[in-house]
Amino acid sequence: MALGLPWAAAWPFARAGTTPGPARPDARPADAWTGRWVHAFAAYGAPKYPADFSHFDYVEPRAPRGGTLRLRNPDRRTSFDKFNPFTTRGNAPAGVMIWMIEGLAVMAQDEPSTMYGLLAEAMLVAPDFSSLTMRLRTEVRFSDGSPVTAEDVRHSFAMLSGRQASPVYQTALSGVEGCDVVDARTVRFTFRERSRDQMFIAGTLPVFSRRWGEGKAFDEIIGEHPIATGPYAIARVDMPRRIEFARRADYWADGLAVRRGHFNFERVIYRNYLDDAVSREAFKSGEFDLFKEYRSRSWVRQHAGPKWDDGRIVKRSFETAFGQGMQSHILNLRRPLFQDIRVREALILTYDFESVNKTGMFRRANSLFNNTEFAAEGLPGPGELRLLEPYRASLPPAVFGPAYRAPVNGEPAALRRNLLKARGLLEQAGWTLGRDNVLRDAGGTAFEIEYLTPRDGGFPDWQALLRRLGITLKERVVDFALYRTRLQKYDFDMITIAGGDFTLPSASGLAAVLGSKSADEEGNSNFRGVKSPAVDALIEAIGRAETLEALRDAARALDRIVTWSHYQVPDLFLSVENVSFWNRFGMPKVQAKYFNADTYFSGIGEFGPWPLWCWWRDDRGVPRTGSARPAG
């Protein structure tokens, strides 16, 4: 379950203010910083597309419409019992966020951290980043035909930032002080935290009708279909495993540049499967159209056969430009077992990544910011040291040395050295191997770790290595509902979490994952349980960075602290999307660079929105090349 939060970096910018004026079609990108109305807002530099652009480059504006897109559950949820995706209790189907809910603005999928108006026709950023004003389009309509008003936007903000919303949304919106109605079509967000990060969070706020579940508390809205602005509505439900969405004939945004070439399927059907093995066989039999594979061995061995050979199924690795968060086996520091850094380092030494990665498909995740310039390199530079020095006494000395690189095993000699080093660290931490070959602390308690997971798989090789040190690693497989509940309560020893894709480091996202405040809030994302003044300070430095160089220094300094503190056992990352799909699609000639990006709140899950939103049905026969036919 990828819980990293990919949204824009913060970049406070101060400039002399001007009196807000009407929108101008020739508004320059820099006007966003001088208090004038603009069509788009970029984290750094100018937006790629001008105000009069006709469509994004990664779509085919003349794509035909029709047909059905069939999908599986895009994450670990195997069933659903509600339609409200914004609250904690229960599971909503992933498709609600993908197909029904829209934000005031959308993130472009071919440039880093740039938002273009969707429900809003124009936006005005205060020169000191104290506010963001957005003006709604006159034509925007909810699925019930009613117009979207500023009151609906204010209501959406109040619900998502309120106590009945999931803490993920509460935390994300905690830097927004308020949302005020200026007039029937205009809202103004004011900020506690004056940063670019907050511009994107407020700008991509999901909007739904205040008539949705009217008269009920927000967390009591369960079975009511959302009243939202998106291009699809729920057409059929077979609770708890199947849901069907139908394209709205009255979708209000078909003519907009930011939507041209999108949403080319008349129907989208999700069917939930209990595990990967079942869904993989269902895919081969044609029950659904796209299968993204995470496991390298399965990608090599199981995505093959007659249907691939004759071109009925296409196997492709799509390169992306995303930064890759750290997928790792997270250690819960709330457990006394993991509070000694020597114990955590010892566990890392025992993990034989090289054997796990026998196919060579993955790369080792040595950073919070893999595949980017924000990953720490070499020795800390002057800018990093200025940020780190005030906390030197509380940080591991290694933070001030070369950048972290995970131990390398793979060969018997290297593995033996690392196991011996791990044994020494455990002895220093007070753990002793008894005659029964069980590692125990001074009180006689055995060293046992419960690995919590919603799917089978496990680590038999790692378990065997740990047994050589007297450590027991027990795999506990639970259904997704219980897994999610235990994560929300931080009730686990160890879990595996993917860090998520991103375009630029985000202070708000990092605060949710690593900030001290989120460590004490059940339902949040600080699974490690990190409570570090140094980490908090570096996250704040990312939020107040005024230049790309300052952002890079702060991110690299934070990276050094998190990696050298051994809060996790680093695992892997992959900068491609490995996908097999039935050869019944056309696709644009240009691929989106960031094709999981739309808005911070999108909840897209494992695959999309570029393939889901910009491909189209093409049943003209299997091409001779055995690959999907591009747009002609």
pLDDT tens readout for residues 147-202: 999 999 999 999 999 999 998 899 889 999 999 999 999 999 999 988 888 899 99
Distance, CA of 226 to CA of 213 (rounded, Å): 8
Band the pLDDT of 329: cuts 50, 70, 90. very high
Beta-bridged to residue 109, according to DSSP, are: none
In this predicted model, which residue has the larger pLDDT, 330 or 27? 330
Taking a C-beta distance cutoff of 8 angstroms, is the pair 449, 346 a contact? no
Look at strands 439-440 and 432-433 and give their pairing: antiparallel
Is 379 in contact with 401 (CB distance < 8 Å)?
yes
Average pLDDT score over residue span 64-84: 92
Give the DSSP H/E element, type plus range, for residue 309: helix 306-309
Q: Are 41 and 115 in contact (CB under 8 A)?
A: yes
Q: pLDDT tens, 348-378?
A: 999 999 988 887 888 899 999 998 999 999 9
| 33-50 average pLDDT score | 84
Say whether pLDDT at 630 is over 80.
Answer: no
- Residues forming beta bridges with residue 448, ordered by sequence position: 472
**CB contact at 8 A, 523 and 167:** yes
pLDDT at 626 over 70: no
| Greatest mean pLDDT among 272-276, 404-408, 476-480 | 404-408
pLDDT at 172: 86
What pLDDT score was predicted for residue 2? 30
Pick from 228, 179, 232: nearest CA to 201 = 179
Which residues are bridge partners to 189 per DSSP?
132, 179
- d(CA 452, CA 491) in angstroms, rounded, equals 9
261-286: average pLDDT: 94
Within 10 A of 55 (CB to CB), how many other CB atoms are there?
A: 17
Residue 208, beta-bridge partner list: 228
| pLDDT at res. 33 | 46
Residue type, 627: S
3-state secondary structure of 319: strand
Banded pLDDT at 25 (limits 50, 70, 90): very low
Mean of all residue pLDDT scores within the chain? 88
pLDDT in tens, 95-105: 999 999 999 99
**CA-to-CA distance for 143 and 562, rounded, in angstroms?**
45
| pLDDT score, position 13 | 20
Amino acid in position 306? P
Residue 509: predicted pLDDT: 85
pTM of the model: 0.73
Q: Does domain 324-573 have CATH number 3.40.720.10?
A: no
Confidence check: pLDDT of 487 > 70: yes
Burial tier of 204 (Cβ tally within 10 Å: 0-12, 13-18, 19+):
buried
d(C-alpha 443, C-alpha 397), whole Å = 30
Strand partners, 432: 440
Collapsed DSSP state (helix, strand, coil) of residue 611: helix
Identify the pLDDT of residue 349.
98
Is 332 a residue whose pLDDT tops 90? yes
Q: Where are the domains of the chain?
A: 1-279+589-632, 324-573
Sheet strands side by side (includes 290-292): 290-292, 576-582, 313-319
* Whether the domain at 1-279+589-632 and the domain at 324-573 fall into the same CATH topology: no
Distance, in Å, from the CA atom of 29 to the CA atom of 41, rounded to the nearest integer, reads 7
- Is 136 within 8 Å of 469 (Cβ atoms)? no
- More confidently predicted of 630 and 279: 279
Position with higher pLDDT, 27 vs 132: 132
**How far is CA 287 from each of CA 68, 277, 583, rounded to the nearest angstrom?**
12, 14, 14
What confidence tier does 406 reach under pLDDT thresholds 50, 70, 90? very high
Q: For residue 61, what pLDDT is reported? A: 97
Q: Is 307 left (phi over 0), alpha (psi -120 to 50) or beta?
A: alpha
DSSP 367: S
pLDDT at 3: 27
pLDDT at 32 over 50: no
Burial of residue 70 (number of CB atoms within 10 Å: 0-12, 13-18, 19+): buried
Give dist(CA 128, CA 214) in Å, integer: 37
Q: Which residue has the tokens 């009613």?
A: 146
Among 628, 297, 625, 275, which residue's Cα sits nearest to residue 483?
A: 275
**pLDDT tens digits, 424-457:** 999 999 999 999 999 999 999 999 999 999 887 7
Q: Using an 8 Å Cβ cutoff, are 504 and 113 in contact?
A: yes
% of residues, the chain, pLDDT over 90 = 72
Q: Mean of the pLDDT values across residues 322-348? A: 95
User: Judging by beta carbons within 10 Å of its beta carbon (0-12, 13-18, 19+), is residue 14 exposed, middle or buried?
Assistant: exposed
CA–CA separation, 34 vs 45, rounded Å? 14
Measured distance CA(484)–CA(488) in Å, rounded: 6
Contacts of 621 (CB under 8 A, 6+ apart): none
- 545 or 241, which is more confident: 241
Q: Does domain 1-279+589-632 have CATH number 3.40.190.10?
A: yes
Side by side, which strands form the sheet with 105-107? 40-42, 114-117, 105-107
Beta-carbon contacts of residue 313 (< 8 Å; ≥ 6 apart): 284, 307, 580, 581, 582, 583
Across 484-505, average pLDDT = 90
Which range, of 23-32, 313-322, 620-629, averages the lowest pLDDT? 23-32
Kindly state the tokens that stand for 565: 């503190």
Predicted confidence at residue 276, as pLDDT, reads 86
The shares of helix, strand and coil residues in the chain, as percent rounded to the nearest 5, are 30, 20, 50
515, 542 contact by CB (below 8 A): no
The closest of 415, 424, 271 to 351, measured between CA atoms, is 415
Least confident interval from 3-7, 85-89, 106-110, 457-461: 3-7
